[in-house]
A = this chain, B = another copy of it.
Amino acid sequence: MAGNIFGELFRVVTFGESHGPAMGCVIDGCPAGLSLTKAAIERELRRRRPGRGGASSARNETDEPEILSGVFEGKTLGTPIAIVVRNSDHHSGDYEDLRDLYRPGHADLTWEAKYGIRDHRGGGRSSGRETLCRVAAGAVARAFLAGYGISIRAWVSSIAGLDMPGPEAPDFDFDETERNALRVPGREAAEKALAEIEALKAEGDSAGGVVSCSAAGLPPGLGEPVFDKLDARLASALLSLGACKGVEFGAGFAAARLRGSEHNDVPVFLAEAGAGALPPGFKTNNAGGILGGISSGQRLEFKAAFKPTPSISKPQQTVDRSGALRELIIRGRHDVCIVPRAVPVVEAMTALVLADFVLLQRAARIG
């Protein structure tokens, strides 16, 4: 389904322009009987909000969600769950001089080419603020997945050109991730990265980075061949984030340089599961937990690359609606690097994909 709807059975529709009256989502297809509280949604929205760190914009939305439907006496009804968040902290005036300009690296030119009209205030519908709706919906999906023992966690594995410690590194500390403003899995690494971000901020420039994501507890069998493979749907979910420019699963691009004998994950007996367990354990996870588009029972592993924030305060050359070249100096509040805030968004999109596949899997066999 084209447009603003995502998912087959566990579906979400998002709506809202950055400076319109409200943002929101409708979750259609969440099974009935799930315990759901407003607090669970607020918790995730809070994680997406601009932090105190130097990486984030100063826009100070309270992002208070209101559940308009679908929940009755603390449980989902099986009916659409509508969640609305008011846009309260407008500085629309900041954008008036952008009405006729197409900002470099933004969707201004392309949206206008497509629709012949655009809301120029804060990027309108193409604003990163739209991801708020995904996080709200993702919170519902996570509550659903928790009942299956499926958990998802993401972190910043590279930022501003600096690689952060990986899961196999001795100083990888996932618990640190939610403690520092950059969502980096290590205190020292976080400090180093923050210094780099502050330097970029001082120069009026911006940074990109990579988000790594890992999901545990997936039963084997999730994912729909042929076109709706688990990795295909996840890739689509991630690249539907405006700043995402690439995604890779397991060994990813590095796999293209391995030999078959190096890349194939070799089955082994795992002590915890015992001999003869199916699915078996594996020595490695080059596949990222997916074979032929279907979860294998191993941990799901992937990475998503995000470009640097296109809004920088350095003067830039751009073009206006008449085709004339113009100098642009962007004012207003902008994240130096959106990658830390992308972490809960990546988790949310992953949750939406997995929730959908859990439901689809129920239709795979007779009986």
Judge whether A363 and B29 touch: CB under 8 Å. yes
Judge whether A82 and B22 touch: CB under 8 Å. yes
Distance, CA A307 to CA B251, complexed state (A): 9
Stretch at the interface among A172-180, A183-191, A257-265: A257-265
Judge whether A2 and B224 touch: CB under 8 Å. yes
Picked from B75, B209, B277, the residue with its CB within 8 Å of the CB of A117 is: B75
* CB neighbors of B among A113-170 (8 A): 113-119, 124-126, 130, 144, 147, 158, 161
- B contact residues around A312 at 8 Å (CB): 260-261, 264
Known interface pairs A256-B158, A364-B78. Does A235 touch B207 (Cβ–Cβ under 8 Å)? no
A366 contacts chain B at the CB level, 8 A cutoff: yes
Judge whether A256 and B210 touch: CB under 8 Å. yes
Interface residues on A, range: 35 or more
- B contact residues around A318 at 8 Å (CB): 267
- B contact residues around A21 at 8 Å (CB): 66-69
Distance, CA A264 to CA B80, complexed state (A): 29
Known interface pairs A33-B115, A77-B17. Does A1 touch B8 (Cβ–Cβ under 8 Å)? yes
A23 CB, min distance to chain B CBs, angstroms: 8
- B contact residues around A26 at 8 Å (CB): 4, 13, 15, 26
A232 contacts chain B at the CB level, 8 A cutoff: yes
A229 CB, min distance to chain B CBs, angstroms: 5
Distance, CA A67 to CA B21, complexed state (A): 8
Counting every copy of the chain, the complex holds 4
Distance, CA A205 to CA B262, complexed state (A): 9
A252 contacts chain B at the CB level, 8 A cutoff: yes
- B contact residues around A161 at 8 Å (CB): 257
- B contact residues around A361 at 8 Å (CB): 114
**Cβ proximity bits A204-245 to B, threshold 8 Å, 1 near / 0 not:** 011111100000000111111111110111111111101011
Which B-chain residue is minimally distant from A161 (CB atoms)?
B257
Judge whether A225 and B258 touch: CB under 8 Å. no
Distance, CA A153 to CA B106, complexed state (A): 27
A143 CB, min distance to chain B CBs, angstroms: 10
Judge whether A256 and B305 touch: CB under 8 Å. yes
Which B-chain residue is minimally distant from A324 (CB atoms)?
B276
Distance, CA A364 to CA B114, complexed state (A): 7
Judge whether B24 and A68 touch: CB under 8 Å. yes
8 contacts between A and B (CB under 8 A): A5-B11, A9-B363, A15-B80, A17-B79, A105-B264, A208-B258, A245-B255, A280-B325
Q: Which 10 A-B pairs have the closest CB atoms?
A: A107-B292, A246-B248, A276-B323, A206-B260, A113-B220, A110-B294, A32-B115, A236-B236, A15-B80, A235-B235
